[in-house]
Amino acid sequence: MATNEELYDEADRLKDAGKLDEAIAKLNELLAQDESYALAHSALAVLYTRLKRHEEAIRHGQRVCQLEPNEAFSFTAMSVTYQRAGKIPEAEDAMARARMLQGGMH
């Protein structure tokens, strides 16, 4: 069985080759093995956003925030995902959380 890192690296190579659906499948394979692998959820949020599959992107972005509740970057990325989905109030809330985690920087 491939390690999480090997599966992630393979998905990254597929993404770089423009094979987004195959990259998504590889990341889902990784998550079937380890659902708590935050980096895979983050990558899926990005890929689904590229494909304009916003609800799926949001679901994975939210999971990253659940897995890494003290990581400002997770909430910044979530804000971008919400923005691209046209959910501006949610994007503002996520950015406010990121700023709070950064110690109140504006």
Listed by start position, the domains of the chain span 4-101
Phi and psi angles of residue 18, each rounded to the nearest 5 degrees, phi first = 80, 10
Q: What does pTM read for this prediction?
A: 0.93
**DSSP codes joined into one string, 68-86:** -TT-HHHHHHHHHHHHHTT
Tens digits of residue pLDDT in 67-97: 999 999 999 999 999 999 999 999 999 999 9
CA distances from 77 to 60, 69, 91 (A): 11, 13, 9
Which is nearest to 91 in space by CA: 80, 103, 102? 80
Tens digits of residue pLDDT in 29-68: 999 999 999 999 999 999 999 999 999 999 999 999 999 9
Question: Token digits for 67?
Answer: 């897995």
Report the top-level CATH class of 4-101.
Answer: mainly alpha
Tens digits of residue pLDDT in 10-31: 999 999 999 999 999 999 999 9
